[in-house]
Amino acid sequence: MSDLRNADDPIWIDKVWLDTIVVAGLTCFILCLMGLSQVPTAKMGILYGIAGMIALIVAYWVDDTYTYDEGTWLIAASMAPGAVAGLISAVVVEMTALPEMVGAYNGFGGLAAAVAGYGLYLDPGATFLVRDGIQVVEQTDEMLIVQAIALWLSIVIGLMTFTGSMVATLKLHGTIASKSVMIPARGLYTAVIFAVMVVFGVLAFAGDQTWNDRQAGIAYLAIVGAAAGLYGYTAVMAIGGGDMPVSISFLNSLSGFSTTATGFMLFNKALVVAGAFVGCSGIILTIIMCKAMNRNVTNVLLGGFGEGSSTEQKGAKSKDDKEGDVTMVEASEVLETLTSAKSVIIVPGYGMAVAKAQHAIAELTTRLRRLGIMVRFAIHPVAGRMPGHMNVLLAEAHVPYDITVSMDQINQDFPSTDVVLILGGNDIVNPAAQTDPDSPIAGMPVLEVWKAKTTIVMKRSLRVGYAGIENPLFLKPNNRMYLGDAKESTEKLVALVGNVNKDAVSDTDGTHLDDEETAVPTLSKQEKEMLQFAEDLPKLREAVFLRVGVIREVDPDEEKVAIVPAGCKDLMKQGIQVYVESGAGEKGQFFDSMYEANGAIVLSSAQQVLDTADILVKIGAPTFHPDLNQHEIDRMSNKTLISFLGPRTEQGKTLMTRAVEHKVNLLAVDAIPRISRAQSLDVLSSQAKVAGYRAVIQAAYQLQKFCNGEITSAGSFEPSKFLVVGAGVAGLAAISTASNLGAHVRAFDTRLETKEQVESLGGHFLVLDFDSESGGDAAGYAKVMSDAFYEKEMALFLQQAKEVDVIITTAAIPGRPAPVLIQAEHVNAMKPGGVIVDLAGGNCALTRPKETYVHNGITIIGSDMTNQAMNWQASTMYSNNIVNLLGMLCKDRQMNWNANDPVIRGMTCVWNGDILFPPPESMTATAAAPQQNSSSTKNIATPEKKKPSQPTFLEHRLWDLASVREFLLVGVLAIFFAVVAAFAPVVFSQQLGYFILAAFLGYYLIENVNSALFSPLMSTSNALSGVVILGGLLMVSVEIGSPTSWLGCISTCVAAINVFGGFAVSYRMLLMFNKEKL
């Protein structure tokens, strides 16, 4: 008997041409996955995959070493039905049913592998190396052991995948209820099932049973298969409908690993490598889906979540969270909201797929864009029932793929968006994920739609989503509910938009033709709106119930204005008339004529405005007015003032006392509580965002080097290093801007709860090891820290100052001078050419307010948050905040001061002669701030505080090299490789090497796939897993009519469904992806 442990034995080596084609085919698979990384290259990638599969199938088909006698025609006969079934299913399937088809293909891949396993067991020549139908030489015991284990894995993984995939398919189709069905004592059940599979698997090859045992041996393997199928069924039955994207991805990976097991069973590297690619694809998508749902893979597979029917939830919502009313709207109101917007984001959810509304929404998108409205789509990774499903549905409806944006990219755009339209989405837009730590979806990344000016939710009803929890978005004051079938409701909107736009059909030069073919200039949407507004203005003035005044700011350095012209128009529509002192907005390029065109009444003096208005809106705190020759508050008796007041400062306290004397109500915009309801009013945040952005621009202007890294013919240059101190709104804006410029950004804040926000914007959060105190107060602001903390902070900043190029400081404490964080020694430690931008106006010891100068080669910019250099932007954002605030204050056409409203109560300094500041702490505490009780001061809202104070045993680091877990893993791998080296045949070592390299290569290839292409990736993975067809091909030519030959034919037929159907539907999908035509 030859020793087949010798890899150079010519009996074992395939023909050179066959090996070359196998390498070429696998190279095509690699190019296929590379092509799927981007939409423009994806179609060519599919063609590479098809070429590789054809090469592999044809090579083994025509090679007489493996195909002989009647096997040639029998392979064709076996492959034909599967090919026809696959092509037909790929052509006729509706894109809304794509998840079901992918689920079925996952199962077919597993079934083909399992059938091949049974076929090999029943092969009389299984223990021999067979060439041209001749049993050339008997395999070694080591090879037979490897073959037996791989055969067992092929059957177990294959049939688990098959039955699990069939259940998933039926759940997606609705044949089986999507709710989770758990069996009692599941842990014990799982242990028994696996014990049965192992015991009977061993019995099939032990004792009197061996290969080709057609009595007890095959019976034992039948029991193994039945147990595997039963486990696959019960495992997926336990998974709720909300977790289907995860289960489909995981089953996709199992189909790949069943192919790999078949490859080890047949010692075929093409199967091993292709299976590794598919397995990695499914694993990566599973991880992505779990992250998008804040779920643990183990928890998903254990089941019980996403049932869609649960009504009792962990952690009841607080009373405040439930306060509010649902605002219902009709199609006409939705139309008015959409057509008056400048920017619209559409969020498609599973409801769009169920109603098959993608074509209607695509038509709505087209008509809105013709009106000059910017429309984009926000795609959540788990929207729908499989990864990338929404992208495919929109592509089918001819929505350009470059206006579909992933969650990570678009979340930052919601605050500047006018309208967000949500189609059938629920959990993916639920703010409870961020605001309710007891929610089942707490921590789940969601689309932050509630930050937009207006949201419109289109649903069949107010029922909960698959997570089974209420959605507080429905109760938010800026939300509207448009209930009904998604398709029918959208078609109503399409018809209404068509009526709005029917006279705007224009030719290429911007004119339209009337019935007499006379060309007349068309008006832009904005011009039409202004004409309509001018026509409606007399009626609007008759309905005015409140007068608001805006006067020039006294401070000569203040160039902003409290309300811009566009804000006057918005208020006029609400019944609020704005009176503006002449020239109040000139420094920001807001002229009197613009105010008048937008409905404001321009008066010649501040005195006239003060005498006329009921409410005065300013930016700066009231002070002595030279034109009035007295303090502004003295002329505001019996009126209300809204402005910055600094109520925590001594100056602010003096103003409150003066206001009481003159019966003036004071509302401080700088005291608005930082709670979710107040986001649209948060003046501090809007102004800080502008300041943070500009700070980076100022620093980049002064910095004498690239912000981003550059590799040029003149040399390579590293990215600049930025340190941002303070991660409030200004700090986060600075981090985002600097990261977008390509700089490496580090950030520090005493509030550990800001860490996640910093990292989400591309920054690295510097953690100071000081667990004994928290850096946030009850309102979510930074607080004064202890001396010990301050000392450690100084040491950290000194270390960072030596490394960074730019320091931006934004650390401010309300009511107190800005803390000095950058001392002279820090400045002197910086490299020459460095820049410091002090936004807080005192964080750097060497700052000169409102002055830029150079100290020892370091440029120090004494900036501030007043944003005078960007007064247009800052004024506009402040004005939007004021408009939103007045909308909250004025309901039912009258001004209402509600002492029970935490927003209004929190910003009220003086009301009806009483000083009401500061408000009760319970009225202004935020979810971001530390919550305390009488027994403990533990920070229960800080994510870091929820982690164990001490690492577990497996998390301990040894010798500062790696964790115990990693060392244990290395040890297990070392033992495994030692066993392989001592006992395994050389051919197994070779196949194992192929598998490991392919797994790592597949991981890095698939990690780069565009999220819009996840659905084509999964169907392509189905096609690649169909390479298990080679296992069937290798068995067909065995004695015709034998069980092995018949099972080889069945495996070939089933695998052909995947090969032909997978590639066909992938290419069909990619043909739908079109870029916007310019």
What does the DSSP assignment read for 856-904?
TTEEEE---SS-GGGHHHHHHHHHHHHHHHHHHHEETTEE---TT-HHH
Q: Is residue 524 part of a domain?
A: no
* % of the chain exceeding 90 in pLDDT: 38
Helix axes 871-889, 683-702, angle to 10 degrees: 170
Name the token pair of 112.
Answer: 């083909």
In a domain, 310, yes or no: no
Whole-angstrom Cα distance, residue 143 to residue 987? 8
**Which contacts qualify for 374-377: CB closer than 8 Å, 24 or more apart?**
374/342, 374/343, 374/344, 375/343, 375/344, 375/345, 375/346, 375/403, 376/343, 376/344, 376/345, 376/346, 376/403, 376/404, 376/405, 376/410, 376/413, 377/345, 377/346, 377/347, 377/348, 377/403, 377/404, 377/405
Residue type, 540: L
CB of 682 within 8 A of CB of 924? no
Residues 257 and 326 in one domain: no
Q: Tell me: the pLDDT tens digits for 1005-1058?
A: 887 888 888 888 889 998 998 899 998 888 888 888 889 899 999 999 999 999
Q: Read off the CATH number of the domain in which 374 is found.
A: 3.40.50.1220
- 518-554, pLDDT tens digit by residue? 344 456 667 778 888 888 899 999 999 999 999 999 8
Q: Using CA atoms, how far apart are residues 670 and 1053, in angstroms rounded to an integer?
A: 71
Decide if 351 contacts 458 (C-beta within 8 A).
Answer: yes
Q: Is residue 986 part of a domain?
A: no
How far from 850 is each of 153, 275, 555, 558, 809, CA to CA, in Å? 72, 64, 15, 13, 15
* Cα separation, 492 vs 485, whole angstroms: 11
Task: Name beta bridge partners: 1045.
Answer: none
Residues 385, 245: Cα–Cα separation, whole Å: 5
Residue 288 forms part of a structural domain: yes
Domain total for the chain? 4
CA count, 13 A, side-chain hemisphere, 789: 15
Tokens 């008759």 belong to residue:
542
Span 343-356, mean pLDDT?
Answer: 88
- Write the DSSP string, 388-433: THHHHHHHHTT--GGGEEEHHHHGGGGGG-SEEEEES--GGG-THH
What CATH number is attached to the domain comprising 559? Answer: 3.40.50.720
Which residues lie across from 836 on neighbouring strands? Answer: 807, 860
Query: Residue 10: what pLDDT?
Result: 46
CA separation for the pair 138, 124 (Å, rounded)? 12
Among residues 427, 436, 682, 777, the one annotated as catalytic is 427
826 plus 891 within the same structural domain: no
Helix (H, G, I), strand (E, B) or coil at 949: coil
Give the residues across from 343 on adjacent strands. 374
pLDDT over 80 (residue 391): yes
599 CB burial (10 A radius; 0-12, 13-18, 19+): buried
Examine the domain organization and report whether 206 and 354 are in the same domain: no
Residues 206, 200: Cα–Cα separation, whole Å: 10
Residue 446 shares a structural domain with residue 386: yes
- What is the Cα 474 distance to its own chain's centre? 21
Same domain, 107 and 217: yes
Mean pLDDT, rounded, for 802-811: 92
Q: Do 767 and 809 lie in a common domain? A: yes
For 121, counting Cβ atoms within 10 Å of its Cβ (0-12 exposed, 13-18 middle, 19+ buried), the class is buried
Bridge partners, 483 (sequence order): 459
| CA–CA distances in Å: residue 79 to residues 18, 66, 708 | 21, 16, 55
Neighbours of 598 (CB within 10 A): 24
Q: Is residue 1036 part of a domain?
A: yes
Residue 936: phi, psi to the nearest 5?
-155, 150
666 and 564 belong to one structural domain? yes
CA distance 1056 to 707: 53
Q: Count how many Cα atoms sit within 13 Å of the Cα of residue 377 in the half-sphere of its side chain.
A: 29
Among residues 890, 910, 908, the alpha carbon closest in space to that of 900 is found at 908
Closest among 330, 328, 333, 335 to 493, alpha carbons compared: 335
Residue after which a domain boundary falls, among 861, 882, 915: 861
**Residue 522 located in a structural domain:** no
Print the domain residue range for 26. 16-305+991-1072
- Cα–Cα distance, 777 to 364 (Å, whole number): 47
Pair (35, 72) in one structural domain: yes
Q: What tens digit of pLDDT does each residue of 254-288 get?
A: 889 999 999 898 888 899 999 999 888 888 888 87
| Cβ-contact 512, 506 below 8 angstroms | yes
Q: Name the amino acid, one letter, at 442.
A: A
- Whole-number pLDDT of residue 568: 95
Neighbours of 87 (CB within 10 A): 17
Is the residue at 850 inside a domain? yes
Same domain, 660 and 761: no
**Region for 811 from its dihedrals, namely left if φ exceeds 0, alpha if ψ lies in -120 to 50, beta otherwise:** beta
Residue 528 within any structural domain of the chain: no
Of 924, 949, 966, the residue that ends a domain is 924
Q: What would the mean pLDDT of 990-998 be, rounded to a whole number?
A: 90
Q: Are residues 618 and 735 in the same domain?
A: no
Task: Say whether pLDDT at 608 is over 70.
Answer: yes
Alpha-carbon distance values, 734 to 674, 722, 958 (Å): 20, 10, 38
CB 87 within 8 A of CB 1060: yes
Residue 543's alpha-carbon distances to 293, 422, 570, 596, in angstroms, are 49, 33, 14, 18
Indicate if 69 belongs to the active site: no
Please identify, among 814, 835, 861, the residue that sits at the C-terminal boundary of a domain.
861
Q: Does position 322 have pLDDT exceeding 80, yes or no? A: no
Residues 296 and 429 in one domain: no
Mean pLDDT of 438-453: 84
More confident residue, 512 or 579: 579
pLDDT, tens digit, for every residue of 79-110? 999 999 999 999 998 888 888 898 899 999 99
Does position 219 have pLDDT exceeding 70, yes or no? yes
Split at pLDDT 50, 70, 90, the class of 924 is: low
CA dihedral 361, 366, 368, 374 (to 10 degrees): 100
Q: Is the model's pTM score more than 0.75? A: no
Burial letters 604-643, b for 16+ CB under 10 A, else e: eebebbbeebbbbbbbbbbeebeebeeebbebbeebbbbb
pLDDT tens by residue, 680-729: 888 888 888 888 999 999 999 999 899 988 877 788 888 999 999 988 88
Q: What is the mean pLDDT of the chain?
A: 83
Half-sphere exposure of 406 (CA within 13 A, CB side): 15
Please state whether the peptide bond connecting residue 647 to the residue before it is cis, i.e. omega within 30 degrees of 0: no
For 934, other C-beta atoms within 10 Å of its C-beta total: 5
Q: Does residue 499 carry a pLDDT above 50? A: yes
Same domain flag for 695 and 774: yes
